[in-house]
Amino acid sequence: MGAALAAGIEPNSAALVPDERGLALTASFDVQIGPRLEDAVSRGVPLDFRFEFVLTRKRRYWIDEHVAGRVLHYRLGYQALTRQYRLSLGSLHQNFDTLDEALRALGRIARLHVVDHGLLFPGETYSAAVRLSLDHGQLPKPLQIDALADRDWRVEAKTLHWDFVPGEK
């Protein structure tokens, strides 16, 4: 029963696909925030999430070269007046009737431009990584202490790593 209530963000898949400006990222995550955080968000406590993408090139005798990266900040909140969950990315907002719908939308990244043309060498091996995590630092101050001390406030976030070799244009 403890596993069913466990909070975690598990990456399902991620891929780099060509787009008109270079490469775009498509990724999906299974987002489970647990009953304590579900209760908090339904009572009006906004939850902030951080999506990170990093692309590096391995070098033999030196540290890995950072080629590209992208960070997005999401905010999930509940609007009591409309009885809807709101997922925000900057000034863009989307409303959902249920928390499950909002979490599914949070876990989908579709065609996000991450790498411009000319930054990658065809045939070279690059290492890519994606991660979606709860940003505990954005919780209200009294809840940040709870997040450190209480296991029910923790959301385990895993990172998905894979190697990528760009083809010829």
The answer, yes or no, to whether residue 165 has pLDDT greater than 80, is yes
Distance, CA of 85 to CA of 132 (rounded, Å) = 19
Whole-number percent of the chain with pLDDT over 90? 63
> Do the beta carbons of residue 65 and residue 59 sit within 8 Å?
yes
Rg (C-alpha) for the chain, rounded Å, is 18
**pLDDT tens by residue, 119-129:** 898 889 999 99
Q: What is the pLDDT of residue 68?
A: 94
Write out pLDDT tens, residues 104-162: 999 999 999 999 988 898 889 999 999 999 887 777 666 655 655 666 667 889 999 99
The CA-atom distances, in angstroms, between 25 and each of 8, 111, 132 are: 22, 5, 14
The span from the CA of 126 to the CA of 56, in Å, is 6
